[in-house]
Chain A
């Protein structure tokens, strides 16, 4: 395996709990890995199936959604909707013989800045172990 491989990961983070956790992590001087790019959304429930597929289409190796905990979602059911859509994308990836573990969803507490960074690192390590998205390059 190419040890210099760094996966490209897209993180959809809600503007409430996940973004609050991100701010706490900045205060704690905990940095996200460079290969995780955050896309802020009003609520994790706003993220559609197509939003989750597009990063894979455009070359990302992994995607995750960060949202509120179930009992603290400002939009009530946002994180539940996100979980269902992530599960749907897992099924699509499975049907394409791509590891469904390349996509995940996490519930965050607003004050858990350290956890925000730990989740990003967890995804990086998980995707790194899987290798790049199986893409064949035409000779």
Chain B
């Protein structure tokens, strides 16, 4: 899933300081799962904004709404009859949400309420780690099911660098060296020879390196 974290309250207050009526919009997708943008968090942010307004002696109306997702136009459309009544909309979805809202409602001020971090999964409740860099050509099976593009600090594809020490990456003792993990895993599975197979250089044009991407599935397009 896409993992995000809340923006600092002061930043959101600064963005919305001139607004008298705000709509906070959540998303029941990834941001609900990582406890940052679901209906619960919409309520928390709305309450926080109201407390801040009372503290400052300001009149402020904050309404709450949570969409099924903010990455499908059909759900963004649900706001069409209400959004114009607000001075601003704060979106708690990943970066896609504020953009889709901005495109659909160009006259409206749309503010992001979270910082989108990465594609990853939960290690335990409340802890998430990056697992996928969206490179567009998934080859984790070449590396024992582990992804050196997302999990190596240098995205190396041929093996560890000289900075790998004690199973840790040189950038931080908290970061595991994924190449140490890949080699260990393949040795345990007696598949170390997989790493000796010649493979052509990776085509990075399918990754973000090739520019903004678009995917069309002809069999699904109406």
- Do A and B come together as binding partners? yes
Decide if B55 is an interface residue (CB 8 Å cutoff). Answer: yes
Decide if B47 is an interface residue (CB 8 Å cutoff). Answer: yes
Q: Is the interface of B mostly helix, strand, loop or mixed?
A: helix
Decide if B55 touches A50 in the complex (CB within 8 Å).
no
Closest to A93 in B: B51
Instruction: Choose among B10, B47, B51, B56 the residue that contacts A136 (Cβ–Cβ < 8 A).
Output: B56
Decide if A96 touches B9 in the complex (CB within 8 Å).
yes
Instruction: Choose among B8, B44, B58, B59 the residue that contacts A50 (Cβ–Cβ < 8 A).
Output: B44
Decide if A122 is an interface residue (CB 8 Å cutoff). Answer: no
A135 and B57 contact, Cβ closer than 8 Å, known pairs A95-B8, A96-B9, A96-B52: yes
- What are the residues of chain A within 8 A of B48 when measuring CB–CB? 53, 92, 96
- What are the residues of chain B within 8 A of A24 when measuring CB–CB? none
Interface size on A, residues (CB 8 A): 18
Q: Is the interface of A mostly helix, strand, loop or mixed?
A: loop
Shortest Cβ gap from B14 to chain A (Å): 12
8 nearest CB pairs, A to B: A136-B57, A95-B9, A53-B47, A138-B57, A50-B43, A57-B47, A135-B54, A57-B50
Residues of A within 8 A of B (CB): 48-50, 53-54, 56-57, 92, 95-98, 133-138
Residues of B within 8 A of A (CB): 8-10, 40, 43-44, 47-48, 50-52, 54-59
